[in-house]
Amino acid sequence: HEGGTPNLLGATALAAACDALDATDAAVLQQHEQALVQRLRSGLSALPRVRLPRIWADSTEGVGIVAFTVDGIAPADVAAYLSAVHGIGVRDGRFCAHPLLARLNLPAAVRASVGLGSCTADVDRLVAAVAELPA
């Protein structure tokens, strides 16, 4: 026997989520995600202190992830600020991709992700919060 109480609610929720995903057209999901990624990239790149590191700048395919840095502010401080002040969860660090960040000459970065549960208001809120970062 496995110790502890089985997470029946979690298993039921996961099954319902899988059913919902299965009933949704994958092309619609991909279009939604890519529209959010483009909105996030556009919004962040319009901010003067923000850099969007990419290996292939002309790549149009990808996943719902946007990495960025803010001039003069450590990625850990950006993530802490977004969480504490705005309740926005992002990841900072090297993302288990040390060789990639080394290739980009970055000690670390901030990573934001979007997907099925994200909407344009979420993206706009993140961009506005990054714009408000203290110098």
Closest CA to 101 of 49, 54, 62, 58: 54
pLDDT tens-digit readout, 36-72: 999 999 999 999 999 999 888 777 778 999 999 999 9
Domain residue extents for the chain: 25-131
Fold classification of 25-131 is: Aspartate Aminotransferase, domain 1 (3.90.1150)
CA-CA distance, 42 to 62, in Å (whole number)?
A: 15
User: How far, CA to CA in Å, does 46 sit from each of 3, 42, 64?
Assistant: 52, 6, 19
The whole-number pLDDT of residue 122 equals 98
CA-CA distance, 71 to 50, in Å (whole number)?
A: 6
Active centre residues (catalytic)? 96
* pTM, entire model: 0.86
